[in-house]
Amino acid sequence: MVHSDILDNVMTFASVLAVFVLALVQLIKNNINLPRNAIPFAGLAIGMLIGTAAYPFTELDIVLRLWAGGLAGLSATGLFELAFNYRTGYTKE
């Protein structure tokens, strides 16, 4: 496999996983009392777990599934924060 094909497969798999990771992260945020700064770590962990558990659906190696899951977890968390948590102001005041 060419390296660009591998990267395409990882990104495609991460895009599919992001939907499921987003749903699970929201479920955890609504039911478990976590500090806000721990949510990205929870998304990363959930993404990596789902990426590992999805072995019947892809032929990617375990390392590539972990990368795809981690990317899905971080992107799902960031996407939700970007879309639904509008923040005003500046970083330096």
pLDDT digits (tens, 9 = 90+) for 22-74: 899 888 888 888 887 788 888 899 999 999 998 888 888 999 999 999 999 98
Q: Is residue 63 part of a domain?
A: yes
Domain that holds residue 56: 1-13+38-85
Q: Is residue 45 part of a domain?
A: yes
- Cα dist. 8→1, 14, 50, 63, 64 in Å? 11, 10, 19, 15, 11
Q: Is residue 92 part of a domain?
A: no
Q: Is residue 22 part of a domain?
A: no
Total-model pTM: 0.78
Counting Cα atoms < 13 Å in the Cβ hemisphere of 29 gives 17
Q: Is residue 90 part of a domain?
A: no
Q: Considering its fold, how many domains does the chain have in total?
A: 1
Q: Is residue 60 part of a domain?
A: yes
Q: Is residue 20 part of a domain?
A: no
Q: Is residue 56 part of a domain?
A: yes
